[in-house]
Amino acid sequence: MTTILAAAASGLAHYQQVVDVVADNVANVSTPGFKATRALAHGAPALPGTPESGPLGVRLTALERRFAPGALQASPFATEVALRDDAFLVLQAPDGTRRYTRAGTLRFDSVGNLVGPEGLLTDPPIVVPGDHTSPSIDAFGRVTALSPDGETVEVGRLQVARFVNPSGLISVGGGLFVPSENAGAVTLGSPGGGGFAELAVGFLEASNVSLADELTTLIVAQRAYSASAQAFRVGDDMLATAARLTA
């Protein structure tokens, strides 16, 4: 009877987390470059190391980030870009470590630095000199500006990265990721070269969240949560009956 209670409680905990994941996905349906997450789980054995005893409830195994591409949407800002393949833009955190993102919300700050989400510098840093004007980005990631004598000069080039297993990246918020051992080796390059696609300049990649899929997952999770709650009540009633019989 306590086994019933434990199994039902694990179901309640798991499907509550599924609902939380759905809520996070739906909340970010309009966030550029956001990648939906799903909760994966399997049955937990009754005793550690004895899988032949059969499943005892549910155990969460992973929160899987789905890196399927989102649709391209036109942006009013000429410095914003979208990645046409499975690559990531490379940014630099204040501590010098790298961050990776699919969100191409690039801007030039007040001192000419090209920055991405959360105001992080690109890696390598790209700076437009103070006496240069009209900075722009092309499909190959080249950043150019007009010098004082009217000549177009290249001041830097965006770097992109590709991972063997992007699902192994760890989200640190703000559309930023850091690699884990599960992400595998990283390959660095430039847009339009070395097997990387050109950028879509003046576009942003939309979230890949499907509201239809999330609604379906939510309905299933709610029904499963209700079933787990009912199973818990049955186990509780059985335990109460046994307690009365032995009193």
Q: What DSSP line would sit under 101-129, residue for residue?
A: ES----EE-TTSBEE-GGGPEESS--B--
Residue 113 sits in the same domain as residue 189:
yes
Residue 198 sits in the same domain as residue 215:
no
Residue 9 sits in the same domain as residue 27:
yes
Residue 7 sits in the same domain as residue 126:
no
pTM metric for this prediction: 0.82
The answer to whether the CB of 176 falls within 8 A of the CB of 91 is yes
Residue 19 sits in the same domain as residue 79:
no
The per-residue pLDDT for range 129-173, each reduced to its tens digit, is: 989 999 999 999 999 999 999 899 999 999 999 999 998 899 998
Residue 154 sits in the same domain as residue 87:
yes
| CB-count exposure of residue 245 (10 Å: 0-12, 13-18, 19+) | exposed
Residue 213 sits in the same domain as residue 195:
no
Residue 142 sits in the same domain as residue 52:
no
Domain count, the chain: 2
The answer to whether the CB of 32 falls within 8 A of the CB of 77 is no
Residue 104 sits in the same domain as residue 190:
yes
3-state secondary structure of 50: coil
The per-residue pLDDT for range 38-89, each reduced to its tens digit, is: 988 876 655 555 555 555 677 766 788 999 999 999 999 989 999 999 999 9
Closest C-alpha to 228, from 59, 60, 58: 58
Residue 21 sits in the same domain as residue 10:
yes
Residue 14 sits in the same domain as residue 113:
no
Residue 10 sits in the same domain as residue 84:
no
Residue 246 has pLDDT above 50, yes or no: yes
Q: Let me know how long the chain is.
A: 247
- Structural domain that includes position 36: 2-66+208-245
